[in-house]
Structure formats: structure tokens, C-alpha cells
Amino acid sequence: MPNVPSLEVGHPMRKIYVGKVIVHIAVGESGERLANAARILESLTGQKPSLRKAKKSIKEFGIRRGENIACMVTLRGERAYDFLKRALAAVNNTIQKSSIDNSGNFAFGIKEHLLIPGTKYDPSLGIFGMDVIVRLERPGYRVSRRRRKRANIGKKHYVTRDEAVEFIKKVLGARVV
């Protein structure tokens, strides 16, 4: 990963970095509100969001199976770090320890997109909340995703919860409560 911060831990294969950041806005209905959410997501991240469909019909909420109800963006590399710094500022650089799983991934929610620094309010678009999911990785994780000769990652190579907490404190500059 060129020009992205990482947590150096002795051996080069043990360093930790942000593999990807997923930003997700669930609207619950298709139409103009979903289009507005997609426009906001594109302006915040600089990437075109992909739409997500409902898995099943829920009559009480007026959702039909296969209907677009959410949008999301996956950020990698420098874009991921830039967005993550701004998103953490929206939650006062604080992450709950309970939101970090045993594989080193963590997630947090932003109640209003206006809390992200540098965002201007547009009354025609409205206000949306979003989920931010972060996956921490080490070099070598590609072997589990590649097409040819796919293999499992060893148990000792996974990022642990304690290593994730240390990464969040030192590299991202956030505190874990």
C-alpha cells in the first residue's frame, strides 16, 4: 500500500493497515430519497455508490423484494484514510470498544452527514445518517481473496482486538472507550 499509514510491528508482514472502508446509507425505500442519499454519498467520498436491493418483502414497511433500498461505497487506499479521518471527527474521535470484533474490524454510525467536517447543508437533498465499517488487514490477506490457488490465512496472522485498539489509538488518533 503506497503512502498509507500503518502500524509497524517489527516484521514487515506483521504491519497493520486499513484494508477498506465501507460507507453505507440505508434509506428503506426507492425513489427520490434514495437518489438524494446516493448524491450525498458521492459528494462525501468522491466515488459513485452502488445500490443495494431488499432481500425479502416486508409488507408493513412497504418494501418489495428486489427493490433498491440502500446505497454503499467501498473505499481503499488514501481515499479510505482521508474519509476515515473526517468520519472519526464527526464522532469526536471516539470509538466504543464493543464495536471492535475479534478479527480487528470495527464500525460506527454517524447520525447526520452534516457532522462530517467540510459538508454543507443542501435543503433539497435532506439529512441522512450512515454506517462506517472499517476492515484492518496485514500484508498477505490477498491469498484468501485471489482467484487462483486460494488459501486460508493462519490464525496467528489475523488482527486481534487488542492490536486493533492500538492501531486506532496510534495511527488514527482516536480514543477507544
Q: Is residue 61 part of a domain?
A: no
DSSP β-bridge partners for residue 171: none
Q: Is residue 150 part of a domain?
A: yes
**Which amino acid would we find at residue 21?**
V
**Domain of residue 116, residue span:** 12-24+72-176
> Which residues are CB-contacts of 3 (< 8 A; sequence separation ≥ 6)?
78
Q: Is residue 152 part of a domain?
A: yes
pLDDT digit string, tens, across residues 106-125: 999 999 999 999 888 888 99
**Residue 163, number of CB atoms within 10 A of its CB:** 17
pLDDT digit string, tens, across residues 138-162: 999 999 999 999 999 999 999 999 9
Is 80 exceeded by the pLDDT of residue 2? no
Distance from C-alpha of 126 to C-alpha of 38, rounded to nearest angstrom: 12
Q: Is residue 58 part of a domain?
A: no
Is 90 exceeded by the pLDDT of residue 105? yes
Q: Is the pTM of this model over 0.75?
A: yes
Domain total in the chain: 1
Q: What is the pLDDT of residue 8?
A: 73
